[in-house]
Amino acid sequence: MPELDTLNDDEEQSGGNLHGSAAAAVLLMLFDENEAAQILSRLEPEEVRQLGYAMYDVADVEIEEVNHALDKFVNKARRRTTVGYGATQHIRGAMTKALGQERADNMLARITPPTRSTKLAMLKWMEAQDIATAVENEHPQVMAIILAHLEPANAAAVLALLPIDMQDDVVYRIATLGPVSGEALDELEEMLATAKPAAQKGTSSQRGGTGEAAAMLNNVRKDIEQRVIKALTKRDKLVAQTIEEEMFIFDNLIDLDEKNMGALIRGVDNDILVVAVKGANGMLEAEMLGCMSQRAAQSMQDEMEDRGPMRLSEVVDAQKQVVAMARKMAEQGAISLGGKGEDFV
């Protein structure tokens, strides 16, 4: 977890020194209850759980280990900057002083990035089973809105707990979900028996879409994924195809091992492969070239250089063809795309 591991970066673990969550727990226990509560309130649920376990584990820590944790914290703090903290207030204040209230408001309305709705934020503190139980008798549209406001892994866990005959309907509704009014979200919060303060009237939440549906399906078991995609294809072939395309993109090829990458490369037409690899990021290009013989890799590098600049549309089309071949070979059992633990025994 990045936030808690900052005390562990660039450090070698040695002796009884505390690292990561343990070091963070020691620091947190040095604050009084109110100060510690303020820090905990800014963390994600999993971070709070991790820190909670660690705080019990370090209850009898030695003074030398406390000092070591403090030293690491101070060293990290010295390398940090405060740029970004309170940035919104700073930008608004500077704009207002420079342009005046009205002109600053107009400018900020155009340049301020959209913020995600904080409604239904309580969902991240709920267990998948509790969420599934709360929505089991609700309309599929309600289920879709709830799942669209969860992180993909949590949404996948809830989806797996829903009735099988409803899963594809819920995924379809997520993929085609439009803006949800603030009033509707208020009703959902009330349904979930929360005590969160109501947000400003007129606000709405734009969640859902094929991207979120794809991210969720990337986290479910393979059998659920296949069943849902098959049902979606019968219902709306275009939506199903779009979700599939977003579930596995060209950059995901970096996760293939050398054997599977090599098999894929051999299965793709060389002209298509040259264009696709030329537009790949540095790491993926190196990975793909590394799966070739030295002679073949050099030949491809020469071809990419000879091609010169290429249109982005041409590169994207070639990469889509490579991904399509990867999917086809995976369906035939020629390669494994991985990504789902239960696919392996």
> Nearest to residue 192, comparing CAs of 141, 140, 119?
119
Residue 340 has pLDDT above 80, yes or no: no
Least confident of 79-83, 244-248, 300-304, 325-329: 79-83
pLDDT of residue 79: 59
Kindly report, residue by residue over 49-106, the tens digit of the pLDDT.
777 777 777 666 777 777 777 777 777 666 555 555 556 776 777 778 777 887 777 7
How confident is the prediction for the chain on average, in pLDDT?
Answer: 76
> What domains sit in the chain, N to C, each tagged with a CATH number?
2-79 (no CATH), 121-245 (1.10.220.30), 250-336 (1.10.220.30)
Higher pLDDT, 332 or 46: 332
Residue 171 has pLDDT above 80, yes or no: yes
Please provide the DSSP assignment of 272-309 as one string: HHHHHHHTS-HHHHHHHHHTS-HHHHHHHHHHHHHH-S
Residue 14 has pLDDT above 70, yes or no: no
Residue spans of alpha helices (H) in the chain = 2-5, 20-29, 33-40, 45-57, 63-79, 87-99, 101-111, 128-135, 140-148, 152-161, 164-175, 182-191, 210-217, 222-235, 237-247, 258-267, 270-278, 282-290, 294-307, 312-331
Q: Which of 7-11, 60-64, 187-191, 294-298 has the highest mean pLDDT?
A: 294-298
Residue 9 has pLDDT above 50, yes or no: no
pLDDT of residue 341: 40
In which element (H, E) is residue 162 found? none
Q: Which of 17-26, 114-123, 218-227, 266-275 has the highest mean pLDDT?
A: 266-275
Please report, rounded to a whole number, the percentage of residues in the chain having pLDDT higher than 70.
Answer: 78
pTM recorded for the entire structure? 0.39
Residue 3 has pLDDT above 60, yes or no: no
Mean pLDDT computed over 25-48: 78
Non-local (6+) Cβ contacts of 278 within 8 A are 304, 307, 310, 315
pLDDT of residue 195: 34
- The single residue listed with the structure tokens 């309130």 is 41
Higher pLDDT, 265 or 9: 265
